[in-house]
Amino acid sequence: MKTISSSIIYKKLFRELETEFGCEEARKIWALAERLNRHLYEKYSAEDEFDTAGMLFPAAAVYTALKKRQPEYPAMELLRSYGTKTGERLRRLIHAFTMIPCVPALIWKNIDKITDHASSEKLGYTRRDMVVTENTSRVDVLSCPLHEMAKKLGMPEVCQTICAMDKVYMTGFRHIQYKRTRSVAEGDDCCDYRLWWDKDKG
């Protein structure tokens, strides 16, 4: 079981709480979130067939802690904002990695396999209309394991934290354009992933 403080993705969230509520209250929220995170692992890890815990449980724990200690505060706004900021950090890393010569072309050469695997039933997804051509890749994801687990926790909205990351970091690939206009976690019928090769995208 990972603590939130040891999570590469979520450990910087404490700073956001500190900025919003001050050090003392942030520590109280964080301590409660750590206890809730541990409880989620204990209660749901046996059902976590697709290993969603590390990405989902910390967000759910902080969300619940915020609602308990600061019931009037818009908790999801903070988590979506944090997701966007985290997505930007990941975007910069991806962009730096794909500055290596031939890496974008190698990724695109295998985009059919990548798309198929990333949206596969093996990883807990259901999908429709997967189409990969020489220059485009598209798939509609109808359900994902993160959202399904969030529904089990009784807070499907918390998955929007991860969706906010996804929407930003996926734009980091050099020469590969990315667009998603819908999200199951936001109430849409699918997540519509669209990628296409663009040799001029730096």
149: exposed, middle or buried (C-beta count within 10 Å: 0-12, 13-18, 19+)?
A: buried
Instruction: Quick: pLDDT tens for 113-161.
Output: 999 999 999 999 999 999 999 999 999 999 999 999 999 999 999 999 9
Phi-psi region of 120 (alpha: psi -120 to 50; beta: other; left: phi over 0): beta
The second-level CATH assignment, the architecture, of 13-197 is: 2-Layer Sandwich (3.30)
The tokens describing 104, both together, are: 């974008």
For residue 179, give Cα distances in angstroms to 101, 135, 198.
24, 14, 13
Whole-structure pTM value: 0.94
Q: What are phi and psi of 33, to 5 degrees?
A: -60, -40
- Give the domain ranges of the chain: 13-197
Instruction: Quick: pLDDT tens for 58-95.
Output: 999 999 999 999 999 999 999 999 999 999 999 999 99
At 19 the three-state DSSP class reads helix
